């Protein structure tokens, strides 16, 4: 009986914790289709970095980000630190930083190149701490190479130029944001949502345990009558 009770406990624990993970794309600006091109913009923490405007249609918990970049000289390094920042809106300019995280990621060579023969690299990272975004609120997303060995040569790749989002570059000499003429960078935001397993699975599991208990009791009664 103790063994069966323990099995019941384990099954209930499993059913209570079992979830499916569903990653939804909540914002997407794809890599430019204008390749090869002389695109991208320097973005690093040592000199200048850029930010791109985005707005979501509904509240969301941003848990994963994807983006594209390149290094001068077709460099494709190993694990690299990137600083992720999200800024609030300040009258059409990036305002205060409302989110910051540092992620370590190894880029993947896409096989694509730009006019300068720089390899286009794709990146994907899970945030250490998710960002809670509010619907219909203007934000500015920034990604910058934070690795001192490579940051000065990294560029954030453009999305299609016809997109209308506004981008800005931080000028350290004037401590101000400057509007950029190339009006989109390539990045994707994801929201990961836990989806409970169907209730029928729990009912099936409990039913199976119930049948097991009933069978055990019958066996015990049969043995008692024989004695």
Q: What are phi and psi of 171, to 5 degrees?
A: -100, 105
**CA end-to-end distance (rounded Å), the chain:** 20
pLDDT confidence of residue 27: 97
Fold of 20-195: Jelly Rolls (2.60.120)
Residue ranges per structural domain of the chain? 2-15+198-226, 20-195
pLDDT tens series, the chain, 227 aa: 544 454 444 444 444 444 445 669 999 999 988 877 766 899 999 889 999 999 999 999 999 999 999 998 778 889 999 999 999 999 999 999 999 999 999 999 999 988 778 899 999 999 999 999 999 999 999 999 999 887 778 999 999 866 667 899 999 999 999 998 766 999 999 998 655 555 444 444 444 444 454 445 555 555 555 55
pLDDT digits (tens, 9 = 90+) for 129-187: 999 999 999 999 999 999 988 777 899 999 986 666 789 999 999 999 999 876 699 99
Strands (E), the chain: 19-29, 41-42, 50-54, 60-71, 80-89, 94-105, 108-113, 119-133, 139-145, 154-156, 167-171, 176-179, 187-196
Report the chain's mean pLDDT, rounded to a whole number.
81
């Amino acid at each position: 009986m103790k063994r069966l009770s323990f099995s019941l406990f384990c099954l209930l624990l499993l059913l209570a914790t079992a979830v499916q993970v569903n990653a939804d794309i909540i914002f997407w600006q794809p890599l430019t289709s204008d390749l090869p091109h002389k695109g991208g913009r320097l973005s690093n923490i040592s000199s200048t970095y850029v930010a791109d405007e985005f707005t979501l249609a509904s509240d969301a918990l941003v848990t994963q980000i994807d983006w594209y970049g390149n290094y001068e000289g077709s460099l494709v390094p190993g694990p690299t630190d990137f600083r992720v920042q999200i800024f609030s809106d300040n009258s059409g300019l990036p305002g205060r930083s409302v989110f910051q995280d540092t992620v370590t990621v190894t880029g993947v060579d896409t096989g694509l190149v730009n006019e300068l023969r720089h390899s286009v690299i794709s990146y994907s990272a899970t945030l250490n701490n998710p960002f809670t975004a509010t619907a219909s609120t203007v934000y500015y997303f920034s990604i910058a190479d934070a690795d001192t060995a490579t940051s000065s040569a990294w560029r954030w790749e453009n999305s299609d130029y016809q997109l209308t989002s506004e981008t800005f570059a931080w000028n350290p000499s004037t401590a101000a944001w400057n509007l950029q003429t190339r009006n989109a960078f390539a990045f994707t935001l994801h929201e990961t949502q836990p989806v409970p397993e169907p209730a029928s699975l729990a009912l099936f599991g409990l039913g199976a345990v119930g049948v097991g208990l009933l069978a055990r009791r019958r066996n015990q009664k049969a043995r008692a009558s024989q004695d």
